[in-house]
């Protein structure tokens, strides 16, 4: 492993505050997207994505649900692209998420949905991509070129884009935009302390082969994204679970060699996460507590707190970052290069 | 471990053909549920569940999409029960799935949705349960008492119930009912050969600690359910992935000690699964091929084929069964009792 292993990945994590500010500055682009959404007042927002973008989509379900009272769903791509199901697409709005804008079946979904009369929005880091070309309107991620294979700043900007779009249809774009700018400031202040805290945990976890990552509600997206980072950069079998689904079976697998990363943020779902952490401790597993309410998790072996955002809905923009940084440190502790996971390339063309 | 370890679990797997026949025989109950659905012609079917029932819900998305062209979604319980989001529930129909009928936040969701004017259907193995009490109409699973903690026959009957309900609103209940009866016959014929085939694989896998389970489209539900069975009964960190999501990161984690179970069934999504299996083989991992098109997977170390059902949509009722039986055999090979996973009880009361 070269000394530069993970340099790109870490540089892009550090760039996230600036990337968020660039996104929020795109007022005209947001206004165009908000107009399309508000004009249609759709019965459903169909979120179309794979990988990290699909993790962000799990957040979009809550952003639209809480800010605009709209039903957003992570739609099945297979149902429309492979099985040609005759769903009522025109009464929906399609929001397709892909940092590269080149994911083949996401592009194909948008082509089909537009042909069938559904309004389509592309959220992508490449406004010249096939996806942007296929959609009616594009909201650029404006994250700057992402060179590390494992997505970080495009993930954060996709979360922010979804929050802004959901805010835009309910006249709250200024409040949420200001909130995201404040999140960028908070991020600036937390990166150094987190970077100093993670190597000690990473060293202890160097031989870990499997983990669970637990979140609930708005933080389930964070659990999914941290688990994916651990799997792709550290070759850990990391599974994301809601606090409740853990109790519906997987808790039986825990033992002292099976650590669990918990994301505890201050909102109505917090008690479920705190209860789950207590059950995890009873099973003898090592608990890492993160999130802005990490101190509520009792018996955690390690704590990686983050600040509280001005709006609770924005918590996932902060709570994913310790997981991103930890994955980079754990990859290095395992002798892997987080910039170049085995067998992956930046644009995933697999169907 | 006693000699009787896993007896209950295996007995209930063997009972599945009869359980399916009991379900299909409930014509009046199905007619009542179908009437409620057809009268409302909802914009959305909201599927509410945790654990194995939520895995079945992933199948429900396809059953409603393909048989009736309706949009069904695995709804966020947290959004309504914890965050009190103001979604438009009355234009939906709520279908709540719980074998025990006692899962607290599933019951709570139904209570709230009904108060807000949404029609509600309970699908449960206990027509006297809180869930049945809370809903407008109940479709009983009729699986007979399930005593093993790990669900098997209630899972299969939940799949069949969802297929029947989706068929009922499009006048195809007879065709699908006949199809399920034929599936029961096919199951009768395949149980013995599968039971004879799995112990050799289970012995080889005795020290396996992590696996991926790959399916796509209608078989993603099967991947979820087999992964859950492996996690809860065998303490394996088994993660379900779609064929495409595997390529979006997790494939980097594979090595020769990380086996992958693939479900290959003959439908439009099969090429994606076959391609994924080829990439898995390139990564050096051991492949188990199951499903009715398992012979299409090249380079599989083990093959567990199942028969083709009369209707492609019913394939998941057959393809989950080798996974159920294998999980029982692997648990025994690991010295565990699949009837009594550590830390679980039959009714999960955790929120």
Structure confidence at residue A247 as a pLDDT band (50, 70, 90): confident
- B344 lies in some domain: no
Answer whether B236 touches A (CB < 8 Å): yes
Helices of type H across chain A: 7-14, 16-24, 27-40, 51-67, 77-81, 104-115, 130-134, 153-168, 173-204, 220-234, 243-247, 270-282, 315-333
CB contact under 8 A, B76 and A275: no
- A165 lies in some domain: yes
- A88 lies in some domain: yes
- B341 lies in some domain: no
The domain boundary, picked from A144, A164, A180, lies at A180
Window B:90-119, CB contacts with A under 8 Å: 91-92, 105
Dump pLDDT digits (tens) for A193-239: 999 999 999 999 999 999 999 999 999 999 999 999 999 999 999 99
Quickly count: other Cβ atoms within 10 Å of residue B252's Cβ.
Answer: 22
Structure confidence at residue A3 as a pLDDT band (50, 70, 90): low
- B99 lies in some domain: yes
Cα–Cα distance for residue pair B257/B239, rounded to 1 Å: 15
Beta partners for residue A28, in sequence order: none
Going by DSSP bridges, is the β-strand pair B120-124/B137-140 parallel, antiparallel, or unpaired?
parallel
Cα–Cα distance for residue pair A22/A12, rounded to 1 Å: 14
Q: Which residues of B touch A243 (CB under 8 A)?
A: 350
Q: Give the alpha-carbon dihedral of B225, B230, B232, B235, to 10 degrees.
A: -160
Residue A291: DSSP 8-state:
E
Residue A108 Cα distances to A103, A112, A158, A212, angstroms: 9, 6, 20, 33
pLDDT (tens digit, 0 to 9) for every residue of chain B, 351 residues total?
Answer: 556 778 999 999 999 999 999 999 999 999 999 999 999 888 899 999 999 999 999 999 999 999 999 999 999 999 999 999 999 999 999 999 999 999 999 999 999 999 999 999 999 999 999 999 999 999 999 999 999 989 999 999 999 999 999 999 999 999 999 999 999 999 999 999 999 999 999 999 999 999 999 999 999 999 999 999 999 999 999 999 998 888 888 998 998 888 999 999 999 999 999 999 999 999 999 999 999 999 999 999 999 999 999 999 999 999 999 999 999 999 999 999 988 887 777 777 776
SS3 A279: helix
Closest chain B C-alpha to A29 CA, distance in angstroms = 27
Do residues B99 and B44 both lie within one domain? yes
The domain boundary, picked from A130, A160, A180, lies at A180
CB contact under 8 A, A239 and B235: no
CB pairs under 8 A between A and B: 227
Cα–Cα distance for residue pair A191/A351, rounded to 1 Å: 36
**Closest residue, chain B, to A337 (C-alpha):** B252
Do residues A120 and A222 both lie within one domain? no
For residue B201, the number of C-alpha atoms closer than 13 Å in the C-beta half-sphere is 25
Nearest to A239 among B78, B237, B252 (CB): B237
pLDDT of residue B193: 96
Going by DSSP bridges, is the β-strand pair A260-263/A210-215 parallel, antiparallel, or unpaired?
parallel
**Radius of gyration in angstroms for the set of CA atoms belonging to chain A, rounded to a whole number:** 19
CB contact under 8 A, B237 and A255: no
Q: Which residues of B touch A54 (CB under 8 A)?
A: 245, 248
Nearest to A253 among B43, B62, B231 (CB): B231
Answer whether A41 touches B (CB < 8 Å): no
Q: How far out from the chain centre does Cα A185 lie?
A: 19
Stated as kind and residue range, the H or E segment containing B213 is strand B210-215
CB contact under 8 A, B249 and A341: yes
Window A:210-229, CB contacts with B under 8 Å: 210-212, 216-217, 220, 228
Dump pLDDT digits (tens) for A265-311: 999 999 999 999 999 999 999 999 999 999 999 999 999 999 999 99
Cα–Cα distance for residue pair A92/A74, rounded to 1 Å: 13
Quickly count: other Cβ atoms within 10 Å of residue B196's Cβ.
Answer: 9
Structure confidence at residue A90 as a pLDDT band (50, 70, 90): very high
Structure confidence at residue A2 as a pLDDT band (50, 70, 90): low
SS3 A168: helix
Q: Which two tokens stand for residue A182?
A: 């404040």
SS3 A105: helix
Cα–Cα distance for residue pair A146/A161, rounded to 1 Å: 17
Closest chain A C-alpha to B312 CA, distance in angstroms = 11
Nearest to A351 among B84, B211, B244 (CB): B244
Mean of the pLDDT values across residues A246-272? 92
Nearest to A61 among B54, B76, B267 (CB): B76
- B350 lies in some domain: no
Answer whether A237 touches B (CB < 8 Å): yes
- B345 lies in some domain: no
| Residue A41 burial class via C-beta count within 10 angstroms: exposed 0-12, middle 13-18, buried 19 and up | exposed
Of the two residues B348 and A241, the one the predictor is more confident about is A241
Cα–Cα distance for residue pair A334/A235, rounded to 1 Å: 9
Do residues A246 and A315 both lie within one domain? yes
The domain boundary, picked from B180, B209, B237, lies at B180
Do residues B153 and B254 both lie within one domain? no
Whose CA is closest to A235, among A195, A260, A207, A197?
A207
Do residues B193 and B259 both lie within one domain? yes
| Residue B145 burial class via C-beta count within 10 angstroms: exposed 0-12, middle 13-18, buried 19 and up | exposed
Q: Residue A346: is its pLDDT beyond 90?
A: no
CB contact under 8 A, A235 and B252: yes
Do residues B176 and B194 both lie within one domain? no
CB contact under 8 A, B78 and A258: no
Answer whether A239 touches B (CB < 8 Å): yes
- The residue to which tokens 């682009």 are assigned: A29
Do residues B20 and B166 both lie within one domain? yes
Looking at chain B, the number of H-run helices and the number of E-run strands are 13, 10
Give the distance between the most distant pair of CA atoms in chain B.
55
Do residues B169 and B209 both lie within one domain? no
Stated as kind and residue range, the H or E segment containing A18 is helix A16-24
For residue B198, the number of C-alpha atoms closer than 13 Å in the C-beta half-sphere is 22
Answer whether A269 touches B (CB < 8 Å): yes
Length of chain B: 351
Closest chain B C-alpha to A251 CA, distance in angstroms = 7
Closest chain A C-alpha to B107 CA, distance in angstroms = 14
Do residues B220 and B168 both lie within one domain? no
CB contact under 8 A, A65 and B85: yes
- Residue pair B116/B86 in contact by the 8 Å Cβ criterion: no
Do residues B140 and B12 both lie within one domain? yes
- Read off the CATH number of the domain in which B85 is found: 3.40.50.10490
Q: Which two tokens stand for residue B104?
A: 């607290």
Least confident of A41-45, A47-51, A134-138, B220-224: A41-45
Q: What is the pTM of this model?
A: 0.96
Do residues B173 and B209 both lie within one domain? no
The phi-psi region of residue A262 (left if phi > 0; otherwise alpha if psi is between -120 and 50; otherwise beta) is beta
Of the two residues A78 and B3, the one the predictor is more confident about is A78
Q: Which residues of B touch A210 (CB under 8 A)?
A: 209-210, 237
B120-124 β-sheet, strand order: B72-74, B44-48, B92-97, B120-124, B137-140
- A77 lies in some domain: yes
CB contact under 8 A, B231 and A252: yes
Domain count, chain B: 2
- Residue pair A114/A121 in contact by the 8 Å Cβ criterion: no
Answer whether A255 touches B (CB < 8 Å): yes
Domain enclosing residue A328, as ranges: 188-333
pLDDT of residue B309: 98
For residue A194, the number of C-alpha atoms closer than 13 Å in the C-beta half-sphere is 27
Q: Residue A10: is its pLDDT beyond 60?
A: yes
Do residues A64 and A203 both lie within one domain? no
């Amino acid at each position: 492993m070269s000394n530069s292993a993970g340099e790109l990945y870490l540089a892009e994590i550090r760039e996230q505050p600036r990337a968020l500010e660039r996104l929020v500055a795109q007022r005209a682009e947001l206004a165009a997207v908000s107009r399309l959404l508000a004009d249609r007042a759709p019965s459903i927002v169909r979120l179309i994505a794979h990988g990290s973008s699909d993790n962000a989509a799990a957040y979009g379900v809550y952003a639209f649900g809480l800010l605009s009272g709209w039903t957003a769903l992570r739609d099945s791509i297979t149902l429309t692209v492979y099985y040609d199901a005759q769903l009522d697409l025109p009464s929906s709005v399609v929001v397709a998420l892909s940092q590269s804008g080149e994911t083949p079946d996401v592009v194909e979904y948008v082509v089909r949905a537009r042909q069938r009369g559904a309004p389509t929005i592309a959220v992508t880091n490449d406004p010249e991509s096939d996806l942007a070309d296929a959609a009616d309107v594009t909201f650029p991620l404006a994250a700057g070129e992402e060179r590390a294979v494992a997505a970080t700043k495009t993930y954060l900007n996709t979360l922010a884009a979804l929050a802004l779009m959901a805010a835009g249809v309910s006249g709250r774009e200024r409040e949420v935009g200001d909130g995201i700018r404040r999140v960028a400031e908070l991020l600036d202040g937390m990166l150094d302390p987190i970077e100093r805290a993670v190597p000690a945990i990473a060293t202890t976890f160097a031989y870990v082969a499997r983990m669970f990552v637990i979140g609930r509600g708005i933080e389930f997206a964070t659990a999914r994204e941290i688990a994916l980072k651990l799997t792709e950069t550290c070759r850990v079998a990391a599974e994301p679970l809601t606090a409740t689904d853990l109790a519906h079976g997987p808790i039986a697998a825990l033992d002292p060699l099976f650590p669990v990363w918990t994301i505890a943020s201050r909102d109505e779902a917090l008690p479920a996460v705190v209860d789950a952490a207590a059950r995890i401790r009873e099973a003898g597993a090592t608990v890492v507590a993160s999130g802005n309410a990490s101190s509520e998790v009792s018996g955690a072996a390690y704590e990686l707190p983050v600040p509280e955002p001005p709006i609770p809905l924005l918590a996932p923009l902060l709570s994913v970052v310790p997981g991103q940084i930890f994955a980079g440190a754990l990859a290095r502790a395992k002798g892997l290069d987080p910039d170049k996971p085995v067998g992956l390339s930046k644009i995933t063309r697999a169907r």
